[in-house]
Amino acid sequence: MVTAYDDEIAELEIDATVDLARIEKAVREILVAVGEDPDRDGLVETPRRVAKAYAEMFAGLHQEPAEVLAVTFDIDHEELVLVKDIPFYSTCEHHLVPFHGLAHIGYIPSADGKVTGLSKLARLVEIYARRPQVQERLTTQIVEALEEHLDPRGAIVVIECEHMCMSMRGVRKPGAKTVTSAVRGQLRQQATRAEAMSLILGR
């Protein structure tokens, strides 16, 4: 079980790998560049807050999937394992604004029947989501991590998101959803893929 103490230690480790002072300086320059006064009451602490927020939002840059997928359990399960509706937030690498949505992860365990903990799949999403990211790459990275560390007979990842770079700027179409998928192994077969998609979409 992850405790508040564990979270505090993890935060200290992240802060040690991120140049917070450099981010603060850059944010201050941005505020000046757009015509703001970074020394007024409402903004004087903003550079520091943004630096801490970026350290948290991009923490996945300093984490590896092996950290969460290394532990497996031999329960001799041979059928599909699916965790759906995993909520997450990420940051578009093109505009540094958020995109958010749901991830659905399924896999058919390896021939020896070993599985990973269900919460580990949610943690895997967080590792790759907490980076400057694009949805297509995020989808592929998750399925490739499953292949590399779990050796499943099949894997599927479906992600559906709303992108703030489409909702609040540019074409300004709030509510528009983007869906991406990545499928490997036995789940590419029509019957197993149809079963997985039915479970994912059958809310």
Catalytic residue status for 135? yes
Chosen domain end from 39, 61, 83 = 61
162 and 89 assigned to the same domain? yes
- Active-site residue, 163 included: yes
Q: Average pLDDT of 2-19?
A: 60
E strand or H helix that includes residue 203 = none
Predicted confidence at residue 180, as pLDDT, reads: 98
Domain total for the chain?
Answer: 2
| Average of per-residue pLDDT across 86-93 | 98
For tokens 């050796």, name the residue.
Answer: 151
Burial of 36 (0-12, 13-18, 19+ CB in 10 A): middle
Residues 77 and 52 in one domain: no
- Specify the pLDDT at position 59: 96
Q: Are 157 and 138 in contact (CB under 8 A)?
A: no
H/E segment holding residue 40: none
Average pLDDT of the chain to the nearest whole number: 92
Which tokens in the block code for residue 34? 């757009």
Average of per-residue pLDDT across 18-29: 97
What CATH code is carried by the domain that includes residue 29? 1.10.286.10
- Is 186 among the catalytic positions? no
pTM of the model: 0.90
Q: How far apart are CA 187 and CA 103, in angstroms?
A: 17
Quick one: 49 and 76 in the same domain?
no
pLDDT category at 39 given cuts 50, 70, 90 is very high
Whether residue 136 lies in the annotated active site:
no
Rounded Cα distance, 143 and 138, in Å: 9
Mean pLDDT of 104-127: 95
The yes-or-no answer on residue 92 being catalytic is yes
Query: 161 labelled as ligand-binding?
Result: no
The pair of three-digit structure tokens given for residue 162, joined into one six-digit string: 């709303």
In a domain, 193, yes or no: yes
* E strand or H helix that includes residue 184: strand 178-185
Given the residues 92, 104, 141, 149, the one annotated as active site: 92
pLDDT of 1 over the 70 cut: no
Q: In what order do the strands lie in the sheet with 132-133?
A: 132-133, 81-92, 98-108, 154-163, 178-185
Q: Which residues contact 5 (CB under 8 A, 6 or more apart)?
A: none
User: Residue 165 above 70 pLDDT?
Assistant: yes
Of 61, 84, 106, which residue is a domain's last? 61
**Residue 4: per-residue pLDDT:** 54
Q: Tell me, what's the pLDDT at 113?
A: 86
Residue 7's pLDDT band, with cuts at 50, 70 and 90, is low
User: What was the pLDDT predicted at 114?
Assistant: 86
In a domain, 66, yes or no: no
pLDDT, position 13: 60
Residue 69 has pLDDT above 80, yes or no: yes
Residue 75 pLDDT: 85
What phi and psi, each to the nearest 5 degrees, are found at residue 121?
-70, -40
Task: Please report which confidence band the pLDDT of residue 104 belongs to, taking 50, 70 and 90 as the band edges.
Answer: very high
- Which residues form the domain of 49? 4-61
The pLDDT of residue 5 is 42
Q: Is 165 annotated as a binding residue?
A: yes
**Mean pLDDT computed over 39-63:** 97
Is 92 known to sit in a ligand binding site?
yes
